[in-house]
Amino acid sequence: MAEMSDSNLDKPTIFQQAIASCCGAIITSLFVTPLDVIKTRLQAQTNPFSKGKCFVYSNGLMDHICVCENGDSKAWYKKPGHFKGTLDAFAKIIQIEGIKSLWSGLPPTLIMALPTTVIYFTCYDQLSEALKSRLGKDDEHIPVLAGSLSRFGSVTVVSPLELIRTRMQYRNLSYSQLYMCISSKVAADGCFSLWRGWSSTVLRDVPFSAIYWYNYERFKKKMCKEVGAHEPTFLIAFTSGAASGSIAAVITLPFDVVKTHRQTQLWESETLKIPQRACTSTWAAMRKIVAKNGITGLFAGIIPRLFKVAPACAIMISTYEYGKSFFSHLNEKMNQRP
């Protein structure tokens, strides 16, 4: 019983888990953002964005909708280059525009990704511990339940902030103008209007989290058993994160495609002042895509999504696990002091 108590004392606190997830989000953004900047620039080269057109910028942690103004955009997309490929694009952007251009759009990513990631990962660990005490620590339903509930909670909490961020990005409003804009929207459409787009985000992110955590915990346990490790090493967490992230990304891709369609249509209608059509359900949007492009239309962009999601999941979870391990050993040393 004393051993169990000491083990619990050594575990990272909620605050330490929050710090570990925060560091993970920052490191993931720093590593993955350049990949999406390059992808966007290569995409613009083959298919230039016209005025009022939107494109989605996503680095595996956050989605951003960017509107082109006169074939240009303030941060994520500057001017089309003449790139032969990914490595050529890296070299030319650094040479011509400076290394900072590879991290275009990083500040708004961090502003939104940090609270989302902290809520998500901290809630997952707390829920897992609570469920283990009720269902037993080897119950296979725990990662699914904890992953789904924590993602549902983080999406719900951050959804109004996402709306506020996109309004500021689009109209360049001051804080007083933003307050007037949000309050008039609430007065006209009610409080629930702040959660517009919540359903399509939940339909994509909650199944992704359930599949991701279920596979991650399985892969991690299996690999730890094979190498005889009591806790996951950085390499085990990295490999398990990449594999489980890839599986979840492929299965939930149709929901991602629908969310992207809805986001870009909304922004283009606002930018080009086109009256919006009646809002359709997710299933209706899926049927429309299948009717137009066939079943493969629901899996459009599978390769770029994997190139973003796999490294983002791998870096995020391995950094988070390393951070928790660091705090666990720190707590152990502190508790051993007389």
CA distance 298 to 300: 6
CA distance 258 to 13: 38
pLDDT digit string (tens) for 5-28? 445 667 889 999 999 999 999 999
Per-domain residue ranges for the chain? Answer: 232-315
Most confident range (mean pLDDT) of 49-58, 65-74, 306-315 is: 306-315
Tell me the pLDDT band of 64, cut-offs 50, 70 and 90: low
Tell me the pLDDT band of 100, cut-offs 50, 70 and 90: confident
Residue 121 scores a pLDDT above 70? yes
CA distance 13 to 245: 26
Q: In the structure encoding, which two tokens stand for residue 297, read together?
A: 């239309």
pTM value is 0.81
pLDDT digit string (tens) for 131-178? 998 888 778 899 999 999 999 998 888 777 766 665 555 555 566 766
Which of 209, 170, 198, 207 shows the shortest CA–CA distance to 64? 170
CA distance 162 to 180: 17
What's the rounded mean pLDDT across residues 238-259? 90
Residue 36 scores a pLDDT above 50? yes
| In 136-174, alpha helices (H) | 141-171
DSSP 231: S
What's the rounded mean pLDDT across residues 226-244? 92
pLDDT digit string (tens) for 264-283? 666 666 555 666 555 567 77
Tell me the pLDDT band of 75, cut-offs 50, 70 and 90: very low
pLDDT digit string (tens) for 296-336? 888 777 887 888 889 999 999 999 999 999 999 888 888 77
Tell me the pLDDT band of 4, cut-offs 50, 70 and 90: very low
